[in-house]
Structure 1
């Protein structure tokens, strides 16, 4: 990691100096505070040892024989650029990484720090596992200590909710912002140069154009042209998603984006099989189970639905629970004008299915229904989750602008819940139309097993919160029952009814743009009951992993 001068450190991270931890957090009044505590010798090794076991190691590989000579030369350059995004993500989330790792002596604890990009357990509600570090800051390093939410909301800063800047405070206490491309100029220039080198080697004109434009975007924070170029690519064999993209790390306003990257190898055969589904979005939009005013928008259908082997994860997507499908770009204007690309990360998806979902099903799904848990159903449920981000509503019906802007920090978890339930709605509709093969029982039972998998991500994770709401809603509607032997059995008719009811509830909440109502729904519904908690503990006792970690990189790929 490149050394950071003290003057350039964000004020909201935890700074470890001479055995002291100085940490910031956002309290219930929205104030970013600072507290100092003493770091004790490693005293939570037992906890760390138990938590390390929740991850299963997976090697990220692909069939290199499918690559051209040019692509073999490009791939290492893309991995190097991705590794820079990983370093930038550390700076955003925990810039004192090296100080922390040098302080900690236990090697297993160091490994757990690296998995979580800091000393907080991302899959256990961000529980601190290093004594004395305090609570994880809601605003990561995006905001200065002492700033309240009201301070920023009433300020006249042009980009106070900007995606690509950090908020700082000068010596007089006045707030100002610094763009990412200024703050991280050195690292971003290196990444840009690597993409330019890759572009020189690219034979596909679409990939060449995208790499050049993305290289420029990294050093300007203007990503629009490169997003359009990315959507225009059709024949590329390699791909890279790179930059500040998702807002999950900013739990104060859900505004500022964190750096991440995926390096991808397209599975062209699978991608051809998936191409037809995006074109069906407009018809599916018309059938949504909500009043007309909540479904008047026409979803963009000039999009692609592709399958990939992912060969490198970096930054935000590699922290805690690993992403297995991607729907981008996030820009609502681009989504409405052009659509999005849904990328299914097939090798990572397969690993989660085999190593996690199947063992969960064997433990918690009723014996009469285990045979319905199928990979093709899992793949489709995950795929249509991403496609379903394009359904529903982007602008409120109450004049509050885009849903994302109206809901702020409450947006991400509800949007993930929408994608979950509308993905299931799409599956149901496509089966009825004869556009999808299989038995609805397979998709519903596999969805149920998927709920039990994802609620384990915890209340600090947007996907975990979304799945907890879905689980509790379906339980209330008796869409499944918990049998006397502690397994779950789906009622297929009631499952469909609950799907429609939850779809209506979520789209209505989004369309109204009422942030307080959404927060109330999260507090009431996105919770784990004692009974469910006990069942999930059974999975841990059985040694069933919660998620995966990767062996990845050029050395793992070999043959380049």
Structure 2
């Protein structure tokens, strides 16, 4: 018994020394290991020129005509949309959140243009200029962004599927990311990859569903919240088609344009819209041509 205690004490002491060694050498100190996130930048005037090509538009519709409960629904949907916004930021690059924190230091200085343009472009690559980097100029945008390992090629992906045909469904799913584990590739569902954010968004959707008087919107919000746990979006897509109220919502992973490597993976997006009943009524003239 005494011998076992001595061995355990020695083991704990050894682990303590190992931990201190790793910490001091920077292996466990993320900042030392990673280094500065912003290494260099394009000339400020070049970024200013790109920003000046754009015209800011304030989107502030008047929804005060809606009942109080529906106004609160919109409040929850906008909060949930900000979470979806952050998921897309992560989908573009694993470094985006860290880089955004660093760029916030520029707010209120002449270099704020880098922060502003980063927010517009959802990353350090200029979407108006063939994704040319304007921050960290030697780091090109990976064609598969953060959906895949940065070194993954189409040939390796297809070779893996050929060797592991049982993986094809998960690997080609729009709702998974591909991870490299040592020498193996693995599909991770969105529900796991973005678990914390999706659960927060789901809670907000369910709160909105309890508040709304529109049964079609409530059905969609509840089924979409469930999809964030199951990774199965079919029922919520069906419920979305049935929306028939004053609030229209697009919320979840849809378009695959960001995946320029294979075109499989869906990007998260959100639009909270109000139906313009007067203008919609004018479109009813189209119905006369169907007869």
- Under TM normalisation by the shorter chain, which class is it? 0.7 to 0.9
Secondary structure of 2:171's partner? coil
Alignment of 1:168 with 2:179, yes or no, is yes
Report the 3-state secondary structure (helix = DSSP H, G, I; strand = E; otherwise coil) of the residue aligned with 1:66: coil
Give the structure 1 partner of residue 170 of structure 2. Answer: 159
Trace 1:154-553 onto structure 2 (pairs within 5 A).
154=159, 155=161, 156=165, 157=167, 158-171=169-182, 173-234=183-244, 236-275=245-284, 277=286
Number of residue pairs aligned between Structure 1 and Structure 2? 247
Write the deviation string for residues 193-248 of structure 1: whole angstroms up to 9, x where unpaired. Answer: 111100111111111111111111122221111111111122x1112210111101
Question: What is residue 76 of structure 1 aligned with on the other side?
Answer: 75
Q: Is the 8 A contact 1:119 1:133 kept in 2?
A: no
Please say if residues 120 and 128 of structure 1, whose CA atoms lie closer than 8 Å, have aligned partners that are also in contact. Answer: yes
Distance 1:43 1:273, change over 3 A: closer
1:127-172 deviations in Å (ceiling 9; x for gaps): 111243421111011111332212222312132211000111112x
Q: TM-score, normalised by structure 2?
A: 0.79
Matched, 1:52 2:45: no
Shift of 1:277: 4.3
Q: Is the 8 A contact 1:44 1:130 kept in 2?
A: no
| CA 178–98 in structure 1, closer or farther in 2 if over 3 Å, else same | closer
Measure how far apart 1:275 and its partner are. Answer: 4.6
Looking at structure 1, the residues matched to 288 and 232 of structure 2 have their Cα atoms a distance apart, in angstroms, of 29
1:19 matches 2:19 = no
Q: Are the aligned partners of 1:44 and 1:131 in contact in 2 as well (CA < 8 Å)?
A: no
Contact between 2:87 and 2:268, CA under 8 Å: does it hold in 1?
Answer: yes
Say if 1:232 and 1:99 are closer, same or farther in 2 by CA, change over 3 A: closer
What is the distance in 1 between the residues matched to 2:212 and 2:77?
Answer: 12
**In the TM superposition, what whole-angstrom CA distance separates every residue of 1:313-347 from its partner, at most 9, and x where no partner exists?**
xxxxxxxxxxxxxxxxxxxxxxxxxxxxxxxxxxx
CA distance in 2, matches of 1:102, 1:192: 26
Contact 1:159/1:177, CA 8 A, preserved across alignment: yes
TM-score, length basis structure 1: 0.42
Distance in 2 (CA, whole Å) between partners of 1:278 and 1:124 is: 42
Gaps of 5+ in 1: 1-15, 22-38, 284-434, 436-560
**8 A Cα contact 2:89 2:97, kept in partner:** no
The whole-number CA distance in structure 2 between the counterparts of 1:192 and 1:95 is 23
Task: With a CA cutoff of 8 Å and minimum separation of 6, indicate the structure with the bigger relative contact order.
Answer: 2
Check whether the contact 1:168–1:175 (CA below 8 A) recurs between aligned residues. Answer: yes
Alignment RMSD: 2.2
Note if contact 1:199-1:208 (Cα within 8 Å) is conserved in structure 2. yes
CA 1:122–1:278 in 2, change beyond 3 Å: closer, same or farther?
Answer: farther
1:90 deviation in Å? Answer: 0.8
Distance change >3 Å, CA 98–CA 191, structure 1 → 2? closer
User: Closer, same or farther in 2 for the Cα pair 1:141/1:277, shift >3 Å?
Assistant: farther
Do the aligned partners of 2:42 and 2:135 also contact (CA within 8 Å) in 1? yes
Q: Which residue is equivalent to 1:330?
A: none
Contact 2:42 2:137 in 1 (8 A): no
Compare the two structures and name the one with the higher strand fraction. 1
2:200 and 2:138 map into 1 onto residues whose CA distance is 33
Structure whose CA Rg is larger: 2
Partner of 2:3: none
